[in-house]
Amino acid sequence: MSDQKLIETVRIQYGQVARSGLGNESEAVRSVAEAFGYSAQELASLPAEANMGLSCGNPTAFASLRPGEVVVDLGCGGGMDIFLAAGKVGPTGKAIGIDMTPEMIERARLGAAKLGATNTEFHLAQIDALPLADNSVDCVISNCVINLAPDKPKVFREILRVLKPGGRVAISDLALRRELPPQIAASLEAYVGCIAGALHLEEFQRMLEEAGFTSVVISETGSDLNAYMHIGSASCCGSGACCEPSETVANGGLPVLQNFDANHYAASVRVNGVKRNH
């Protein structure tokens, strides 16, 4: 499948999630977020539209955001991390959300209006073509979205471009520990579910360093990737449950991720890196 076809498939599937009834008022959805590092207090501060159970970490917990900074969230979805970041950078800072799915941007803007979050803005764009000026951002965060991008080196180059010298990345994502079974690696369901497009741990490190980042540190969080299935959330990430039935079946009509133990092959990771000062 071509890169553009993958991008359109991801856009369609996550648009369906954005139009669904998934929201922060659901105990199951909140439980997914708690399993990946969000506190009950953080979740209680969010509007219903922000959290759809799509996280695989909490980048605002380790981004070391400071008042007055400009932070950008790649693949902001309903605005969950943007709203948490906006509180950390304060009224003199700015939190900018980027998402390629119109329905997600609509949800995020609705949530911002409910919160009165005037230090936020949202842009409809792909994360490998950011509508931002060079050297304009202090920190870039992302939450289980880099794995959905077909051209990851291009994404990392874009992050580097918009960061100020000395700026940093704080990424929550999935990374592979070992090769996936062939039927998973080739599955569109597993790609939309954030598994098949994930980088190996060593690849993640190498691509960031080749893009120009230094002080790259990748650490596993120990979170249970099967939390999506255990809790019964209808979220995409990790389970692929948001996909259309015609695109989630294989091998005799069974969803390929039905009995897949994600923890055996992948891990939730924290990724930190810094743009060189020269």
Residue 249 has pLDDT above 60, yes or no: no
Tell me the torsion sign for CA atoms 40, 46, 50, 55.
Answer: negative
Q: What domains, with CATH codes, occur in the chain?
A: 3-275 (3.40.50.150)
Structure tokens at 124: 């409809």
pLDDT band at 206 (very low <50, low <70, confident <90, very high): very high
Query: Count of CB atoms within 10 A of residue 91's CB?
Result: 10
Residue 126 has pLDDT above 80, yes or no: yes
* pLDDT value for 139: 98
Beta-carbon contacts of 125 under 8 Å, excluding residues fewer than 6 positions away, are 98, 99, 100, 131
Instruction: State phi, psi for 99 to the nearest 5 degrees.
Output: -150, 145
11-43 pLDDT, tens digit each: 999 999 999 989 999 999 999 999 999 999 999
Give SS3 for 49.
coil
Residue type, 100: M
Give CA–CA dist 18/167, Å, rounded: 31
pLDDT band at 238 (very low <50, low <70, confident <90, very high): very low
Q: What long-range pairs does 178-183 form, CB within 8 A, spacing at least 24? A: 178/264, 178/265, 179/265, 180/265, 183/250, 183/251, 183/256
Q: What is the mean pLDDT of residues 164-186?
A: 96
> What percentage of residues in the chain have a pLDDT greater than 70?
89
Q: What is the mean pLDDT of residues 46-74?
A: 97
Structure tokens at 46: 């969010």
Tell me the torsion sign for CA atoms 176, 61, 135, 126.
Answer: positive
Mean predicted lDDT score pLDDT of the chain: 90
* pLDDT value for 255: 58
pLDDT band at 108 (very low <50, low <70, confident <90, very high): very high
Residue 233 has pLDDT above 90, yes or no: no
pLDDT band at 227 (very low <50, low <70, confident <90, very high): confident
Residue 247 has pLDDT above 50, yes or no: no
